[in-house]
Structure 1
């Protein structure tokens, strides 16, 4: 079996526009919510320490209660996703129809 070598698209040249920075936090929260919902549907519950055998995870809590280190993981995922969208030539606009 070949050793897997990740090869993500290089987005270093893409600057995140200031107007999209609020999107990062909303997307990060949603990334966490999707992850948590998936884990819970698989039978995982909160635990002070991660235990794969007992399906316990310390991050099964609201996004706002996560440590900054854990939030940063979700933020990096969100930032890289937005930068990839921009690098591929797509535009991100806000439609007032979907605003809260």
Structure 2
């Protein structure tokens, strides 16, 4: 291997584990763990209701659970975007005024 290939490969190989990446991402965007927790909650509820769904067809039940999970994740993403916009545009100008 040439040195240029080694430098490219070494940049991809990091010591970050999946847990540390998740912690770093949750510090940058606090609504990422909320979305993940909501997704897990909807999936858990869906599995619980699967046993007690009555005469509802399986396909209808799965569609409802998919829509619920997607709705929760999209809602968490929207809240995260609104939060980051608040920090970027409303909180920063106040900090700049304090510095002046």
Q: Give the TM-score taking structure 2 as reference length.
A: 0.30
Q: Which one has a bigger Cα radius of gyration?
A: 2
Q: Give the TM-score taking structure 1 as reference length.
A: 0.30
